[in-house]
Amino acid sequence: MIALVLATALNEASFPCVTNRECRLWHIFVQVRRAKIATVRDVDASTVIVENRIKSVQLLLMAGLGQTSSEIMDHQAKGSRKGRAGGANAVKADLIAIVIAVTNSDPCVLTIAQANALPSGPFEQAHRSLQSGLRGWVEQQTGQPLGYIEQLYTFADRDRIGAEERVISISYLALTRDEDAGGSARRCWASWYDYFPWEDHRSGTPTVVLEHLRPRLREWADDADDTATRLDRRRRAAVAFGFDDRSWNEELVLQRYELLYEAALVEEATRGGFSAEPTPVPGRSMIADHRRILATAIARLRSKIKYRPVVFELMPPLFTLLQLQRTVEALSGRLINKPNFRRLIEQQELVEKTGETTAETGGRPAQLYRFRHTILDERPVAGTKLPLARA
């Protein structure tokens, strides 16, 4: 009987009422299921629905064991009080925005609190949806309206905020154009290379890699207690940072940051009781795990510009091919072969000429282009292949 109840609750199969007791179970299940599902219509995580159905099964089993409706209601009330109470069992939902713009060939992120935090706020009962709650917090804290937005990742590691509370942070990646990033929010913009100086390879391998990261990571690897760990650390550092003649992979932003965290070479790793002996390498820190969240966003964007035309969300309505190339280079942190880039852009029919020119680039007037929005209808998957120059 219990197995049938579980299968019914989780698979939504019709339940054959054979006896009065079984009909009673089915009636309770339907009522609870309807109530629970109604509370999660605005949540885009299917795990919440599964969790609520498991709670429904618990109530069904209580009824099947002969417990009264008052006992069931008391069980629900205790669960609600437990969820609202503070302490180790309290779980809160937080919304975090990573808003990106490209200004003067520099990828910038919208920040608050002296540029050491990302815009964020709790998900509240009054919010119509996750996105509306996020947009409200960003506008309230920075005055910046949001355009393009997509859900990035949900961060829920234990003790990521502190030992006394559990916070689930739902992060969103937002893109905005330079001309839309002005006003009162302008003072809140910071280059993402201020936080990750080792990620900008447009002028070759950064000094921070040569003078700080390479020797410090080798020292960290050599400090391992055994040969296997030492070799593993060396290999991971080589893969992440392109040591030992390995190629640089611009998408491994998060892996590089987490490796530096493990080696206690970033300021965040010295908090919360960790040893403060190692001196952090250059790179601006952020509160809590906001720099890790930013690293996740950069990695997502660097990957996505290769298969989706999201880069045009950062471009003005009219632009030159050189402006487009500089924007892609700013995001990827690497140089692009100019002739190959232009040939690929034209072959993929991502842009079209406007018939207008601009003299702002210096020298002879440059052709102005616009993004072909119809390509999104013509091809479900459209992107910009990057002919990246090898270092």
- Domain end position, chosen among 139, 171, 191: 191
Looking up residue 131, the CATH number of its domain turns out to be 3.90.79.10
Which residues in the chain show pLDDT less than 50? 1-87, 390-391
Torsion sign, CA atoms 83, 6, 21, 39: positive
Q: Which pLDDT belongs to residue 240? A: 98
Q: Which pLDDT belongs to residue 78? A: 43
Burial letters 4-43, b for 16+ CB under 10 A, else e: ebeebbeeeeebeeeeeebeebbebbeebbeebeeeeeeb
Looking up residue 339, the CATH number of its domain turns out to be 1.10.10.10
pTM listed for this prediction: 0.75
* In-domain check, residue 296: no
Tens digit of each residue's pLDDT (9 = 90 or more) over 88-135: 567 899 999 999 999 999 999 999 988 899 999 999 999 999 999 999
Q: Which pLDDT belongs to residue 71? A: 40
* In-domain check, residue 166: yes
Q: Which pLDDT belongs to residue 25? A: 44
Q: Which pLDDT belongs to residue 206? A: 98
Domain region containing 54: 2-84
Q: How far is residue 233's CA from residue 241's CA, in Å, rounded to a whole number?
A: 12
Q: Which pLDDT belongs to residue 282? A: 95
- Domain end position, chosen among 34, 69, 84: 84
Same domain, residue pair 64 and 107: no
Backbone phi and psi for residue 278, each to the nearest 5 degrees, phi listed first? -65, 140
Q: Which pLDDT belongs to residue 68? A: 36
Same domain, residue pair 279 and 219: yes
* In-domain check, residue 291: no
Domain count, the chain: 4
Surface-to-core class of residue 296, CB atoms within 10 Å of its CB (0-12 exposed, 13-18 middle, 19+ buried): buried
Same domain, residue pair 95 and 178: yes
Both tokens assigned to 121 = 């706020």
185: which residues sit within 8 A by CB, 6+ positions away? Answer: 110, 142, 143, 144
Looking at residue 202, what DSSP letter applies? B
Same domain, residue pair 78 and 106: no
Same domain, residue pair 187 and 95: yes
Looking at residue 87, what DSSP letter applies? S
Tens digit of each residue's pLDDT (9 = 90 or more) over 48-75: 333 433 443 343 334 344 443 334 334 4
Same domain, residue pair 184 and 265: no
* In-domain check, residue 150: yes
Same domain, residue pair 229 and 258: yes
